[in-house]
């Protein structure tokens, strides 16, 4: 991993702009991404899929340039795709083919000899948790199994980098856990760089070492994610009625208070998290006679990072479970 | 391993904790691939092979196989019956150009059946996104489809004719001499069969590329040929001179029969002077076919170019 830390970026983008008519999908993006698990975060329509398409050499940018694994995506798109895997967001599997047959076929299309392709398909399907099922027709698969087949086809030609577009879409909680575990293994155990595109904060927080946040085609942030592990947590609570008086009271006790968070704009976040903070909230709501509707700790997280960066406060990004519920009535 | 259960953490490739015991189960682990990576040609051939299997209904229900099966039976009978007749009467029962005329309807049905299988499912099931994210171009994909469809169509344009040719040589008094002396016919059959296969499959694929529904594609191919032929007939009636002659190039029936006649009967007499002579040399029809194939590929390519 030390070698990789000093290795050249796996993705380099310079002044990348992509317009569809008058619509700007990507606006002057510039960034460099090191080897790792990269989270590509943004609301639906933020430009994530367009960025992936440009990086795969499937779409030509209006201006600017992009290099993947050191290869120019415009000049050598085939070479890029030879070394990169892609798992699309949409349902894209043939219904009346077996998983082994179809994944093996795509391995062949990627240039693997026929017999090797068949063997690789079996191995990769086993790695994603489909062993005996690989000889069944895909039309009989659950959503989770289909997602695994899509992941297998992205890995079967042994790419150095794999793009996963919303890999947990449509999965139940168990399936989502399994998928995130698989993505973790791809990066940590198999040594394949991952770009995970998602609008779900927790997915990215769970898996990624670096995050790129884009909104309306603009780059909001690109930075290592784990630096936030060291930051201290907050306490979040909600009262019925006007949050102003309790916020003022807590500020009077020297605490940092933010009001107006959450879906209803009624959540109050108090820093730092400590026993004194909990005591102050308890005393405050008791003295003001305010019904306490929710109280929980909230680690300083990707959510803070996202909300801090997103000036227009889009509600389309789903916050994950970085919060630990203490009380919710 | 039960469904949904993840395999354990893979061990490093080639690493073993100790000597293997009989019956010991190993996690195969994920192995990086360091072997050969073949070029785009291999990918094209993989697409052709896979599409051929699917179009012929391999690993599908009987309904996917029934039409190709009956077409093959009919095509084989079309070749076997003349051979049987010739065995009795001792002379040629049907010329090659007439034989291709008999096969034409079967070829049309076959192409209308298989080409939608080649194109429609990939579009309807959104599989194109997986193909185009691999190390091939969109043209490679289309060439793979054309090669696969043409190879399959060869089984109804060339294979029955080869059967007829071989039967005729074996019926001769000196079969080996006959084989040798009629090699030119074999070359003509191969040329005509290949041109017909490419021409018909390119047209079928082009039409099928416009829809994700196989039934619609089949209907449009069959009805489209009938409508096109009717329009050409009207044009021939309305136009005069060179314009009328050139209109023939838009008629699949005229182009295919013109090529077959031109190749097997190059010295045919011109029609009576009071009738128009629509005939061109074989290379005229072959050129028309080549232009049509290229045009179909260009239209399909346009269909598959990204929308930006």
Contact B165, B189 (CB under 8 A): yes
Task: List phi, psi (to 5°) of B138.
Answer: -65, -35
pLDDT for B294 beyond 50: yes
Among the listed residues A141, A144, A193, A190, the one whose alpha carbon sits nearest the alpha carbon of residue A164: A193
Whether the bond into A265 is cis, omega within 30 of 0: no
CA distance to B165, B186, B295, per residue, from B178 (Å): 10, 12, 40
CB contact under 8 A, B135 and A82: yes
Look-up: residue for tokens 């008519």?
A21
CA distance to B33, B82, B88, per residue, from B93 (Å): 59, 6, 10
CB contact under 8 A, A111 and B130: no
DSSP assignment of chain B, as one string?
Answer: --TTPPPPPPPPTT--SS---TT-----------S----HHHHHHHHHHHHHHHHTTTTS-GGGTHHHHHHHHHHHHHHHHHHHHHHHHSS-SS-HHHHHHHHHHHHHHHHHHHHHHHHHHHHHTTTHHHHHTSSS-HHHHHHHHHHHHHHHHHHHHTHHHHHHHHHHHHHSSSHHHHHHHTHHHHHHHHHHHHHHHHHHHHHHHHHHTT-S-HHHHHHHHHHHHHHHHHHHHHHHHH--HHHHHHHGGG-HHHHHHHHHHHHH-TTPPPPPTTS------HHHHHHHHHHHHHHHHHHHHHHHS---
Task: Name which of B28, B126, B129 is nearest A126 (Cβ-Cβ).
Answer: B28
Give B-chain residues touching A106 at CB under 8 angstroms.
Answer: 130-131, 134
Task: Name which of B60, B125, B133 is nearest A56 (Cβ-Cβ).
Answer: B133
Q: Which two tokens stand for residue B287?
A: 């050129």
As a whole number, mean pLDDT of residues B90-116 equals 90
Q: Tens digits of per-residue pLDDT, B8-63?
A: 444 444 334 445 556 555 556 677 888 889 989 999 999 999 999 999 988 777 87
> What angle is formed at CA B50 by the lines to CA B46 and CA A95, rounded to 5 degrees?
130
Task: Name which of A56, A111, A133 is nearest B39 (Cβ-Cβ).
Answer: A111
CB contact under 8 A, B33 and A158: yes
User: What's the pLDDT at B307?
Assistant: 59
Judged by phi (left if over 0) then psi (alpha if -120 to 50, else beta), residue A170 lies in: left
Q: Which two tokens stand for residue A56?
A: 């795969």
User: What's the pLDDT at B269?
Assistant: 67
pLDDT for B77 beyond 90: yes
- CA-CA distance, A42 to A195, in Å (whole number)? 13
Contact B270, B277 (CB under 8 A): yes
Give A-chain residues touching B35 at CB under 8 angstroms.
Answer: 112-113, 116
CA distance B215 to chain A (A): 17
Q: Tens digits of per-residue pLDDT, B127-171?
A: 999 999 999 999 999 999 999 999 999 999 999 999 999 999 998
CB contact under 8 A, B46 and A108: yes
CB-based contact, B37 to chain A, within 8 Å: yes
Secondary structure letter of residue A83 according to DSSP? S
- Band of residue A3 on the pLDDT scale cut at 50, 70, 90: very low
Q: Tens digits of per-residue pLDDT, A124-148?
A: 999 888 888 888 999 999 999 999 9
Mean pLDDT of the residues in chain A: 84
In chain A, whose CA is at the least distance from the CA of B38? Answer: A111
- CA-CA distance, B152 to B164, in Å (whole number)? 19
Among the listed residues B83, B52, B273, B75, the one whose alpha carbon sits nearest the alpha carbon of residue B165: B83
- Higher-pLDDT residue of B60 and A211 is A211
- CA-CA distance, A231 to A243, in Å (whole number)? 26
CB contact under 8 A, B137 and A133: no
- CA-CA distance, A140 to A243, in Å (whole number)? 52
Contact B236, B275 (CB under 8 A): no
Q: Which two tokens stand for residue A293?
A: 């509707």
Q: Tens digits of per-residue pLDDT, A218-261?
A: 988 888 875 444 445 678 888 888 888 999 999 988 888 888 76
Q: Which two tokens stand for residue B147?
A: 């090669």
In the three-class reduction of DSSP (H, G, I as helix; E, B as strand; rest coil), residue A158 is classed as coil
As a whole number, mean pLDDT of residues A90-115 equals 94
In chain B, whose CA is at the least distance from the CA of A101? Answer: B50
CA distance A105 to chain B (A): 7
Task: Name which of A92, A101, A145 is nearest B127 (Cβ-Cβ).
Answer: A92
Give A-chain residues touching B122 at CB under 8 angstroms.
Answer: 94
CB contact under 8 A, A97 and B54: yes
CA distance A209 to chain B (A): 20
Strand partners, A222: A212
User: What's the pLDDT at A309?
Assistant: 65
Task: Name which of B4, B7, B134 is nearest A144 (Cβ-Cβ).
Answer: B4
Mutate to test the interface with A, among B1, B29, B30 (most CBs of A within 10 A): B30
Among the listed residues A164, A165, A300, A168, the one whose alpha carbon sits nearest the alpha carbon of residue A225: A300
CB contact under 8 A, A113 and B38: yes
- Band of residue A1 on the pLDDT scale cut at 50, 70, 90: very low
User: What's the pLDDT at B204?
Assistant: 95
- Per-window interface: B 6-35 vs A, CB < 8 A: 6-7, 9-10, 28, 30-33, 35
**A293-307, B200-214, B255-269 — most confident range:** B200-214
CA distance B15 to chain A (A): 15
CB contact under 8 A, A178 and B40: no
Provide the ipTM.
0.82
CB contact under 8 A, B130 and A88: yes
User: What's the pLDDT at B24?
Assistant: 56
Question: How do A267-271 and A234-239 pair as beta strands?
Answer: antiparallel
Distance of CA B246 to the CA centre of its chain: 26
CA distance B33 to chain A (A): 6
CA distance to B99, B249, B284, per residue, from B280 (Å): 20, 10, 6
Q: What is Dmax (Cα atoms) for chain A?
A: 76
- Per-window interface: B 182-221 vs A, CB < 8 A: none
Q: Which helix (H) or strand (E) holds A286?
A: helix A275-288
Task: Name which of A97, A112, A191 is nearest B37 (Cβ-Cβ).
Answer: A112
As a whole number, mean pLDDT of residues B234-239 equals 80
**pTM across the whole model:** 0.80
Task: Name which of B5, B40, B122 is nearest A129 (Cβ-Cβ).
Answer: B5
Q: Tens digits of per-residue pLDDT, B183-226?
A: 999 999 999 999 999 999 999 999 999 998 999 999 999 998 88
Distance of CA B270 to the CA centre of its chain: 33
Number of Cβ pairs < 8 A linking chain A and chain B: 130
CB-based contact, B88 to chain A, within 8 Å: no
As a whole number, mean pLDDT of residues A103-110 equals 96
């Amino acid at each position: 991993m030390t070698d990789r830390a000093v290795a050249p970026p796996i993705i380099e983008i310079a002044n990348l702009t992509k317009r569809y008519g008058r619509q700007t999908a990507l606006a002057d993006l510039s960034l460099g991404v090191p080897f790792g698990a990269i989270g590509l975060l943004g609301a639906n329509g933020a430009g994530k899929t367009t960025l992936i398409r440009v990086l795969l050499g499937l779409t030509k940018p209006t201006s600017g340039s992009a290099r993947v694994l050191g290869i120019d995506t415009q000049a050598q798109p085939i070479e890029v795709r030879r070394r990169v895997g892609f798992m699309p967001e949409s349902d894209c599997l043939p219904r009346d083919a077996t998983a082994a047959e179809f994944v093996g076929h795509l391995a062949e299309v990627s240039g693997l000899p026929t017999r090797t392709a068949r063997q690789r398909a079996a191995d990769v399907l086993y790695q994603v948790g489909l062993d005996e099922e690989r000889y069944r027709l895909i039309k009989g698969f659950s959503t989770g199994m289909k997602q695994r087949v899509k992941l297998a086809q992205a890995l079967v030609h042994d790419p150095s980098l794999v793009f996963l577009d919303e890999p947990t879409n449509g999965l139940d909680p168990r399936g989502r856990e399994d998928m995130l575990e698989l993505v973790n293994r791809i990066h940590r155990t198999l040594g394949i760089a991952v770009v995970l595109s998602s609008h779900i904060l927790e997915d990215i927080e769970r898996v990624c070492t670096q995050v790129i946040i884009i909104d309306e085609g603009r780059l909001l942030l690109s930075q290592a994610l784990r630096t936030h592990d060291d930051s201290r947590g907050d306490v979040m609570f909600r009262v019925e009625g006007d949050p102003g008086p309790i916020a003022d009271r807590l500020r009077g006790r020297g605490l940092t208070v933010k009001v107006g968070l959450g879906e209803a704009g009624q959540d109050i976040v108090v820093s730092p998290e400590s026993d004194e903070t909990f005591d102050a909230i308890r005393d405050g709501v008791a003295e003001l006679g305010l019904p306490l509707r929710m109280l929980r700790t909230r680690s300083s997280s990707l959510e803070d990072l996202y909300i801090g960066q997103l000036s227009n406060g889009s509600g389309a990004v789903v916050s994950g479970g970085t919060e630990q519920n203490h009380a919710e009535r | 391993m039960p469904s949904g259960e993840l395999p354990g953490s893979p061990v490093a490739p080639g690493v073993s904790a100790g000597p293997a015991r009989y019956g010991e189960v190993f996690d195969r682990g994920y192995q990086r691939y360091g072997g050969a990576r073949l070029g785009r040609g291999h990918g094209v051939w993989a697409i052709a092979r896979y599409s051929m299997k699917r179009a012929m209904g391999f690993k599908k229900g009987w309904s996917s196989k029934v039409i190709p099966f009956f077409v093959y039976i009919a095509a084989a009978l079309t070749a076997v019956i003349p051979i049987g007749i010739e065995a009795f009467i001792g002379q040629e029962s049907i010329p090659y150009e007439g034989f291709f005329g008999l096969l034409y309807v079967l070829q049309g049905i076959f192409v209308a059946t298989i080409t939608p299988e080649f194109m429609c499912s990939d579009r309807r099931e959104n599989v194109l996104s997986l193909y185009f994210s691999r190390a091939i171009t969109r043209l490679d994909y289309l060439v793979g489809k054309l090669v696969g469809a043409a190879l399959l169509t060869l089984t109804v344009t060339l294979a029955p004719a080869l059967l007829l040719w071989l039967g005729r040589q074996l019926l001769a008094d000196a079969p080996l001499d006959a084989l040798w002396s009629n090699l030119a016919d074999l070359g003509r059959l191969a040329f005509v069969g290949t041109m017909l296969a490419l021409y018909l499959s390119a047209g079928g694929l082009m039409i099928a590329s416009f829809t994700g529904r196989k039934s619609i594609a089949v209907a449009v191919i069959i009805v489209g040929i009938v409508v096109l032929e009717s329009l050409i007939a009207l044009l021939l009636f309305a136009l005069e001179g060179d314009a009328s002659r050139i209109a023939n190039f838009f008629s699949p029936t005229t182009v295919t029969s013109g090529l077959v006649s031109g190749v097997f009967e190059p010295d045919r007499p011109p029609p009576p002077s009071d009738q128009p002579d629509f005939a061109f040399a074989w290379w005229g029809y072959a050129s028309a076919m080549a232009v049509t194939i290229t045009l179909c590929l260009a239209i399909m390519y346009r269909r598959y170019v990204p929308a930006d």
